[in-house]
Structure 1
Amino acid sequence: MPEHNIEFGKYGARGVRGHEAVARQLDALAGFIATPVTTRRGLLARLHYLTRTDHARQAAREVGLAVTDRTLKAWLEGKRNPSRKSLQQVETVYRTVRRHNVARYLLARLNREGRGTRVEFHPLNQSQVDRPRQRVVDYRSLNVRHWDRIVEAWAADDDQALDDAWVSDAVVDLGSQWGQYEYVTNIGFAA
């Protein structure tokens, strides 16, 4: 695609890829448990979320929770503590299951029956770039009406698909200068 930055940051510009900023915003809307998994309270909250029903337990096993029911019971009762590797596994499984569970709700909320959601593009930070090399990149806003592929890629935690969906379903609608918004300081939307 035209204007893809090959050497971003070579002259001191700072920012993140647009799809990464969108993923962070969707994560914030998903409402993950704030307490870290390394604390007892955080671990218990995640385990209760993953094991409260048979359906939740089956979903957790499908995405990679590979511990026995006996081990889960010991963790919940506090008789044993999970290893660092197991804590990371619980966190990964929790985030995957949570994304899958809230994806349909977020999709309806963002599409708003075809009206879409207003998205703000905050341009990249060029404060460290020498004046002659700076580009004029303005704050822009756009109404994104099709979130299906974006939310689907986010729920699957597929960065490449999310990048492709974000560029083709949203960013190209900015017009001929859409490549200037490949990297941004922030993407904001309130759904």
Structure 2
Amino acid sequence: MRCRSIRLRQQGHPERSAAVARQLDALAGYIATPVTTRRGLQARLHYLTRSTHALDAARAAGLNVTGRTLRAWQAGTRTPSRKNLAAIEQAYRTVRRENVARYLTARLNRDGRGTRVEIHPLNQSQVDRPRQWAVELRHLNVRNWDRIVGAWAAGNDRELDEAWVDQVIDLGSQWGQYEYCTNIGFAA
């Protein structure tokens, strides 16, 4: 088992850190209304155009339309295509992640005290009894979130995965059993 875990770590498997990314996304507090509705579209456009800095970040994130088109979308005289709706959603999520990353890092680090993380193991109910691992809910106190949140904010799945595995190793000899999990819970 140890050889397999090391090999997986070297290859890089972003799905190991997907639960962490989902939890950070939940903490980011995205707009709940879908971008396909008028209200959701207007909320995202307002967020992306409320300042010059936000608009520059949106353009850097891939929203490349003219100011005239943006004003028409905001006025409701034109509607974006599916491709542009996807670009608006992607730009919104990217800018939101960048905006909340510093706050989340500070909240999760808690001046060096860190944040307690619950790791829920994989559901093994469909595995034959003799082949099941003896794993249970584990707790881990992560004291340094800088690398994890930075990779999440940048959208770098590989770096996020490596940063998360570096934290899970602190579980000791059983860390390989918690490398893949059903759910990870923590709050900021």
TM range (shorter): over 0.9
Letter in 2 for 1:172: I
**CA-atom RMSD in angstroms:** 1.7
What runs of 5+ residues in structure 1 fail to find an aligned partner? 8-15
Shift of 1:64: 1.2
The percentage of counterpart residues that share the same residue type is 71
Structure 1: distance between partners of 2:4 and 2:181: 14
- 1:128-147 paired onto structure 2 within 5 Å: 128-147=126-145
Q: Label 1:2 to 1:171 Cα distance change in 2 as closer, same or farther (>3 A).
A: farther
Give SS of 1:127's match. coil
Give SS of 1:152's match. helix
Tell me what 1:113 maps to.
111
What runs of 5+ residues in structure 2 fail to find an aligned partner? 9-13
Tell me what 2:55 maps to.
57
Which has the larger helix fraction?
Answer: 2
Structure 2: distance between partners of 1:72 and 1:174: 49
Shift of 1:55: 1.2
- 1:143-158 paired onto structure 2 within 5 Å: 143-158=141-156
Letter in 2 for 1:4: S
Q: Retained in 2: the 8 A contact 1:2–1:179?
A: no
- 1:20-169 paired onto structure 2 within 5 Å: 20-168=18-166
Post-superposition, which runs of at least 4 consecutive aligned residues in structure 1 deviate over 3 A? none
Tell me what 1:11 maps to.
none
Structure with more relative contact order (C-alpha pairs < 8 Å, separation 6 or more): 1
Give SS of 1:24's match. helix
Tell me what 1:184 maps to.
181
Letter in 2 for 1:181: Y
Structure 1: distance between partners of 2:151 and 2:114: 18
